[in-house]
Amino acid sequence: MPLERRSWAEPFRIKMVESIRLTTRAQRERAIEEAGYNTFLLRSADVYIDLLTDSGTSAMSDRQWSAMMMGDEAYAGSASFYRFEEAVRRTYGYKQVIPTHQGRGAEHILSRCLIKEGDVIPGNMYFTTTRLHQELAGGRFTDVIIDEAHDPASPHPFKGNIDLDKLKRVLVENPRRVPYVCVGATVNMAGGQPISLENLRAVYALCQRYGVLVMLDATRIAENAYFIQQREAGQAGRKIAQIVLELCGCSDGCTMSAKKDPLANIGGFLAVNSKELADAACNLLVAYEGLQTYGGMAGRDMEAVAVGIDESVQDDHIRARVGQVEYLGEKLRGWGVPIVMPIGGHGIFLDARAFLPHVPQEQYPAQALAAAIYLDSGVRSMERGAVSAGRDPVTGEERMPKLELVRLTIPRRVYTQAHMDVTAESVYCVFEERKQIQGLRMTYEPKLLRFFQARFSECSV
Ligand code: F0G
């Protein structure tokens, strides 16, 4: 009998392993209470399967580890920097490469260089650190993503697309007040959703007409390119590397967290085409990050990033990476668990509003759900809803986003299919018992990026 479908497998085998520990329910009850119901405040030793983030949590390859031994730790003019610079230029195509310690370092420098008090920065949905740096520089972020992105159930294949009418309106209404448009590829907060090549081309053409720069957040651009290859008309036969290069060609520069797509544990960069902008950035760089040939990274970090960049745009790598995320998502969907559709590139996003309809958004349903999943199995996820959205800097009001999500984020090349099965089963068990989950109230609220350190207690306590 012919098989209905053939399986695919990861394009690697495992040569080093790291033990993880299964805890008891009583241990987890103690741990989550001590952590103030915030999964960011758990100790990793108390976590079984860690799906908090895909940031800096990837498994490096044998090629990356051996390249690290070649790290040149010279303070200035390190050979490792030149290998890093060459990898960035070859893969993304920008002329000027400015190293930073991680993505937010690049966001800080870019925001300080381009934004003046009162400026407006349109983007396809906010990201936490990106928006904060825009606000700290005196700017105001405005969302111009298509409406479908705010609807967890919409099946639109490119929910990261920019609504060109919304963007045009912002450009017309704010002459000389828009320094650049910030384009995420993919869009993290929407569920790892991609922007299409066609849409980015149109955004770039529109911005050129208005003399406004386009800056990519290229943190997960290889995943974005994979969705273009799979979903966009005329793109099926192209290599991921070619699509990545073309995406970057529709922009004037990018910020990058090398902790995601580029498979490194630390690192990042700002890359631009303008020499003038690069010079301005390097002026700030020496104050905040380090010299222009290391920017906060050790020589060995730059070696790991250089090799990781090459590996990140290999077709077989990215297919297995996104394929593993799809495997988990399809399993949950099959059991009727409400997740953001289509399945995104770096994780599964549970729709906490649909999951816990009895918990009002003021009681942080996504935060409560992440805690409940941890309690069930020791799987660590994170909140991406009202807690992450924070407060409006002008009015001080809490921002209540349409999307109230829990993210199960998959580190690259780290977990097996069995880990995905255990995770899916845990989420399903919590779903079955969902009526017992109650809301939370915040007992400690930090001023900036509150989701990292906020503390909560159960509403009934
Ligand atoms: N842009 C996006 C889209 C991100 O997802 C992140 C980090 C950054 C910028 C900032 O980069 O962490 O290197 O400073 N996202 C992590 C996450 C923290 O878990 O989603 P960084």
Q: Closest Cα partner for 168 from 138, 203, 220, 130?
A: 203
- Return the C-alpha torsion angle 157, 54, 68, 217, nearest 10: 50
For 124, which DSSP code?
S
55 lines ligand 1 (CB under 6 A): yes
CB 92 within 8 A of CB 151: no
CB 251 within 8 A of CB 273: no
Per-residue H/E/C for 377-409 = HCEECEEECHHHHCECCCCCCECCCCCCEEEEE
Helix or strand (DSSP H, E) at 268: strand 268-272
Would you state the pLDDT for residue 460? 81
State the distance from the centre of ligand 1 to the C-alpha of 429, rounded, in angstroms.
30
State the distance from the centre of ligand 1 to the C-alpha of 69, rounded, in angstroms.
27
- Residue 291 neighbours by CB distance under 10 Å: 16
Known catalytic residue at 260: yes
Instruction: Fold for 25-47+315-456, please state it.
Output: Aspartate Aminotransferase, domain 1 (3.90.1150)
Give domain limits for the chain: 25-47+315-456, 62-312
User: 99's torsion region: left (phi>0), alpha (psi -120 to 50) or beta?
Assistant: beta
State the distance from the centre of ligand 1 to the C-alpha of 318, rounded, in angstroms.
19
Q: Given the residues 83, 259, 260, 413, select the one marked as catalytic.
A: 260
Q: What is the per-residue burial (b if ≥16 Cβ within 10 Å, else e) of 257-268?
A: bbbbbbbbbbbb
Q: Ligand 1, residues 40, 55, 126: which to mutate, most atoms within 8 A of Cβ?
A: 55
d(C-alpha 236, C-alpha 232), whole Å: 7
From the CA of 53, give the closest atom in ligand 1.
19
Q: HSE of 329 in the Cβ direction (CA atoms, 13 Å)?
A: 23
Question: What is the pLDDT averaged over residues 409-423?
Answer: 98
Within 289-416, where are the H helices?
A: 299-312, 315-334, 352-355, 365-377, 386-389
Instruction: Fold for 62-312, please state it.
Output: Aspartate Aminotransferase; domain 2 (3.40.640)
Q: Do domains 25-47+315-456 and 62-312 have the same CATH topology?
A: no
Asked whether the predicted pLDDT for residue 381 surpasses 80, the reply is: yes
- Return the C-alpha torsion angle 448, 449, 450, 453, nearest 10: -100
Strands 455-458 and 440-444: antiparallel
| Strands (E) located in 137-222 | 140-143, 180-184, 213-217
d(C-alpha 409, C-alpha 405), whole Å: 12
217 lines ligand 1 (CB under 6 A): yes
The set of residues, in sequence order, having a beta carbon less than 8 Å from that of 360 and lying 6+ positions away, is 439
Q: How confident is the model at residue 461 (pLDDT cuts 50, 70, 90)?
A: low
Q: How confident is the model at residue 393 (pLDDT cuts 50, 70, 90)?
A: confident
Q: Closest Cα partner for 35 from 447, 370, 390?
A: 370
Would you state the pLDDT for residue 314? 98
Q: Which residue has a Cα nearest atom 19 of ligand 1?
A: 53
Question: What is the pLDDT averaged over residues 301-314?
Answer: 98
pLDDT per residue over 200-256, tens digit each?
999 999 999 999 999 999 999 999 999 999 999 999 999 999 999 999 999 999 999
pLDDT per residue over 153-196, tens digit each?
999 999 999 999 999 999 999 999 999 999 999 999 999 999 99
257 lines ligand 1 (CB under 6 A): yes
Asked whether the predicted pLDDT for residue 18 surpasses 90, the reply is: yes
Summary mean pLDDT of the chain: 97
Angle 435-439-440 from CA coordinates, rounded to 5°:
155
pLDDT per residue over 87-130, tens digit each?
999 999 999 999 999 999 999 999 999 999 999 999 999 999 99
3 state SS of 7: coil
The set of residues, in sequence order, having a beta carbon less than 8 Å from that of 439 and lying 6+ positions away, is 359, 360, 362, 363, 364, 365, 368, 458, 459
Known catalytic residue at 75: yes
Per-residue H/E/C for 80-109 = HHHHHHHHHHHHHCCCEEEEECCHHHHHHH
Known catalytic residue at 141: no
CB 179 within 8 A of CB 141: no
Cα 440 to the chain's mean position, in Å? 26
